[in-house]
Amino acid sequence: MEKKYLSWDDIEDAVERLATNIKANNASIEAITGLPRGGLIPAVMLSHKLDIPYIDANGNFEEYDNILIVDDICDSGHTLKQHHQFFTTATLHYKTSAVVEPDFWWKLASENEWIVYPWEREDSKTIPDYATKGK
């Protein structure tokens, strides 16, 4: 699996484009939260960019009708699927093989690509690395 390293400039561009897309689609987002761990930083950045309150996972979700759930990537889609039917979703990257498509995403990721975000360690392990752990 090929690793692709992103810079903070890439992330700034991704967040800017996501924010523009969300605004253009008149999404009536009232609050934003991020999925731990990968979604936290882009969620806070989108919160600032859109001037929408950030709420953490312990926040009072009942106060809002439309919450944006943010993650870094929709890879298999299993994590996002839990939230997709109840909330608006956004990711930086999306793989078309995922079981669900986020409402908003920045770029398609190739199936054989492991993306390393700037908030991750450069030696982060890929899915195949985790799958063989302990074998």
**What pLDDT band is residue 79 in, cutting at 50, 70 and 90?**
confident
| Pairwise CA distance, residues 121 & 49, whole Å | 26
Residue spans per domain, the chain: 2-131
102 has a pLDDT exceeding 90: yes
Instruction: Find the DSSP H helices in 1-135.
Output: 8-24, 40-50, 78-84, 127-131
The per-residue b/e assignment along 60-79, b for 16 or more CB within 10 angstroms, e otherwise, is: eeeebeebbbbbbbbbebeb
User: Which amino acid appears at position 75 of this protein?
Assistant: D
Position 124 scores a pLDDT of 60
Topology of domain 2-131, CATH:
Rossmann fold (3.40.50)
**Which structure tokens are listed for 10?**
């890439």
- 45-64 pLDDT, tens per residue? 999 999 999 998 777 788 88
- Provide the whole-model pTM: 0.85
With a cut of 90, say whether residue 115 has pLDDT above it: yes
